Amino acid sequence: MNYTNSMTRFKVFGLGGINGLIVGLALEKARVAYLNYQMTQAAREYAQTDFFVDFIQARWEPFVPLVSTAVFAVVAFVIYEFFLNRARLLLMIWFGLGIFALLLGYFMSTSNPNTTSFLSLFGLVVVTYLVHWLWKTHPDSPPLLWAITGISAVAIVALGVQLIGLFFYWPNLRKPLIWLVCLIGVVAINAVFGTVIQLISNRFKWRKSQEASVQ
């Protein structure tokens, strides 16, 4: 894998942190926008009644970006260090973590899973396997390599959320649809991130080749 051979451990860790920061900021922005939308809808409904309820706006918090930065940095390092040539093992780990998180979370606390839940679970499997298959056929593609990092990070965060969720009531974070949307968003962000890195890398290589030819 030529791309990975040109990357040092420090660069991988640093780029993973930058990647995580971008993802974290995007997720936090989406969280705030979603909560404010829900509050706006609720305020409109209460405005038609005789009840008075004071709604506050959700505010930006640094927790999600900070956690995302740390998780993505570590996951990127682990992927590049141990799993670049172990695609099948990584896929099995994804599914293992996913099944474990599922048992800990959604179906343990929700007695009536609906059709949307099962379709979302199917979508999670399809997206995960599709990116994995593309990565196997194009192992030197930075967009796919960073998409793989994104999937791994989402799997670990999902498991962590479900473990913590055993002690708290987080109904929204137990819905497969939420995680499907999150996974698709992270894969898209990471694919763009990998594309930008590839363009920058190609630019530097072109400059070096031009300088070498002049000398």
Check pLDDT > 60 for residue 2. Answer: no
Shortest CA distance to 149 belongs to which of 125, 132, 124, 126?
A: 132
- For the ranges 5-9, 137-141, 192-196, the lowest mean pLDDT is seen at 5-9
Strand, coil or helix: what is 51? coil
In the chain, pLDDT over 70 holds for what percent of residues?
A: 82
Please give the pLDDT value at position 203. 79
What local confidence, expressed as pLDDT, does residue 193 receive?
A: 96
Domain that holds residue 137: 2-214
Q: Measured between alpha carbons, how far apart are the two ends of the chain, in Å?
A: 29
Q: Which two tokens stand for residue 33?
A: 């926008």
Helix axes 63-78, 9-47, angle to 10 degrees: 150
In this predicted structure, what is the pLDDT of residue 164?
Answer: 81
C-beta separation of 134 from 142 below 8 A: no
Nearest to 149 by CA among 201, 200, 198, 81: 81
Location of structure tokens 């793989």? 148
| pLDDT attached to residue 123 | 93
What's the domain count of the chain? 1
What's the longest Cα–Cα distance across the chain? Answer: 82
Whether the CB-CB separation of 153 and 75 falls below 8 Å is answered with: yes
CA atoms within 13 A on the CB side of 207: 6
Question: Worst-scoring range by mean pLDDT, 3-7, 38-42, 105-109, 173-177?
Answer: 3-7
Within 8 A by CB and 6+ apart from 183, the residues are: 124, 127, 128, 150, 151, 154
Nearest to 8 by CA among 84, 90, 82, 81: 81
Question: What's the rounded Cα separation, in Å, for the pair 194 and 60?
Answer: 27
Residue 5 clears pLDDT 60, i.e. is over it: no
Sign of CA dihedral 15, 185, 69, 29: positive
